Amino acid sequence: MTADVEPSRLQPQVLPLFADRTPRVVDSDEAFGDKAAEVPGPDTAGLPAPTQRVIVGDARKIDLPDASVDLIVTSPPYWKKRDYGHADQIGLEDTPQGFVSSIMDCFQEWRRLLRPTGSIFLNVGDTYYKRSLMGIPGRIEAAAMDNGWLVRNRIIWAKEKGQGMPEPAKNRLANRHEYIIHFSPRTNYYYDLFGYSAEYGNGANPGDVWTMGLDRNMGAHLAPYPRELVRRAIVLACPPTVCTTCGVPPERVVARTARLDPSRPQAKRAMQLAVEKGLTEAHIAAIQATGVSDAGKALSFQTGTGRNSKSVQTLAREAKEALGGYFREFTFAKKITTGWTSCGHEGRTRGVVLDPFMGTGTTLQVALQTGRDAIGVDLNPIAPEVG
């Protein structure tokens, strides 16, 4: 591979491939910008402000219509940890099996409430009993799978240094993590990995370990969980809006740009070379369509290039000759949101987050802050300070 290509060969006017449209030469940093403006989120203009509703009752029988909830984010009582002082409380069953059975009764009800694109993020920790961990999170996962649920992720909430509960044990390590298990009844649950990665992963998939501290105002006896835990779950799996006619949420449409990160020296050099050699946006699109190995999508189709396989491969070859090894930089170029899908109907409503063990209402607070409608259920709800 060589970068010594005659610039004139790459001038668009001498390339018959460009005869069908006026090529835009990559000639400045601006030319590496977006072809389309970034669209931040589905349109919520005109929708009423997010609402919250608190229902006093049992998580196993909730007075809500079928298919009316987009996401459940919740932390049930952990087995044998606390007495919430109510005859119908979950958590003080005699055996782990009894506890898991109560949680499965909840799941059965929650399945009814979820829209077809809905899912559950369940924060749960384990319990030592008679000197052994009981494997509660794993038992819940196994029972849920037996009941037809998919276990999509077992996320580890790693507590920041000094933030676990003090433990007297001298012959084992102190517990410093809990789980957040993502369950879905179907494979087509709503999931915005792109939006989440942009916020928490610098564009790359951020992985299944969430290192979070406890919020400062957490009273130990109430067992609230961090707001960030709820926020992450909502960003990932609660659509901002859903259709009032069919309940389908708009999904993010993403396109690759030619924009590179100029803070990386290799990316900067790649941009300089592209300018020097007179490459066009069509060249960059061709590199992206063929990919690093030349075995990319261009062999069968070329999303966004508007050209046939042969011409795309020719463009990619020219660009790779011009850029040398730096062509790889353009295969990692930034992606942007260019729009949101539409089911074709008009009406929209906000996505709905439910916490069936709402406690102090952490979930409701975050749902409202992120523009979702919020519903909380608890045998003993503690009035949430919303804001």
Ligand X SMILES: C[S@@+](CC[C@H](N)C(=O)[O-])C[C@H]1O[C@@H](n2cnc3c(N)ncnc32)[C@H](O)[C@@H]1O
121 Cβ neighbours under 8 A, 6+ residues apart? 71, 72, 73, 74, 180, 181, 182, 233, 237
Instruction: For 65, list phi and psi in degrees, rounded to 5.
Output: -70, 160
| Contact residue for ligand X among 84, 164, 291, 299 (CB under 6 A) | 84
| Contact residue for ligand X among 15, 90, 103, 180 (CB under 6 A) | 90
> Residue 25 pairs with which residues in a beta bridge?
280
Instruction: For 133, list phi and psi in degrees, rounded to 5.
Output: -65, 145
Note whether 89 binds ligand X by CB under 6 A: yes
Q: Which is nearer to ligand X, 74 or 337 (CB)?
A: 74
Q: Which is nearer to ligand X, 123 or 280 (CB)?
A: 123
Binding to ligand X, residues 256-295 (CB under 6 A) = none
| Contact residue for ligand X among 6, 88, 208, 215 (CB under 6 A) | 88
Stretch that binds ligand X, among 10-18, 45-53, 166-174, 372-380 (CB under 6 A): 372-380
Stretch that binds ligand X, among 34-42, 159-167, 257-265, 374-382 (CB under 6 A): 374-382
How many of the other CB atoms lie within 10 Å of CB of 373?
Answer: 23
Note whether 354 binds ligand X by CB under 6 A: no
Binding to ligand X, residues 37-66 (CB under 6 A) = 58-59
Note whether 360 binds ligand X by CB under 6 A: yes
- CB of 223: closest distance to ligand X in angstroms? 4
Q: Which residue is nearest to ligand X (CB)?
A: 359
Give CA angle at 182 (177, 184), nearest 5°.
165
Instruction: For 138, list phi and psi in degrees, rounded to 5.
Output: -65, -35
Note whether 223 binds ligand X by CB under 6 A: yes
Stretch that binds ligand X, among 302-310, 323-331, 366-374, 378-386 (CB under 6 A): 378-386
Which pairs from 274-278 meet CB under 8 Å and 24+ separation?
274/26, 274/319, 274/322, 274/323, 274/330, 275/26, 275/27, 275/28, 275/31, 276/7, 277/5, 277/7, 277/10, 277/322, 277/323, 278/7, 278/10, 278/11, 278/12, 278/25, 278/26, 278/27
- CB of 219: closest distance to ligand X in angstroms? 9
- CB of 53: closest distance to ligand X in angstroms? 15
- Site size toward ligand X, by CB under 6 A: 20
Note whether 107 binds ligand X by CB under 6 A: no
Q: For residue 270, which of 315, 227, 332, 212 has the smallest C-alpha distance?
A: 332
| Contact residue for ligand X among 42, 224, 239, 351 (CB under 6 A) | 224
Note whether 104 binds ligand X by CB under 6 A: no
Q: Which is nearer to ligand X, 98 or 201 (CB)?
A: 98
Note whether 222 binds ligand X by CB under 6 A: yes
Stretch that binds ligand X, among 127-135, 297-305, 315-323, 371-379 (CB under 6 A): 371-379
Amino acid at position 97, single letter: Q
How would you classify the pairing of strands 241-243 and 114-124? unpaired
> Residue 353 pairs with which residues in a beta bridge?
71, 374
First to last CA, the chain: 59
Binding residues for ligand X (CB under 6 A): 58-59, 75, 77, 84, 88-90, 222-225, 357, 359-360, 362, 377-380
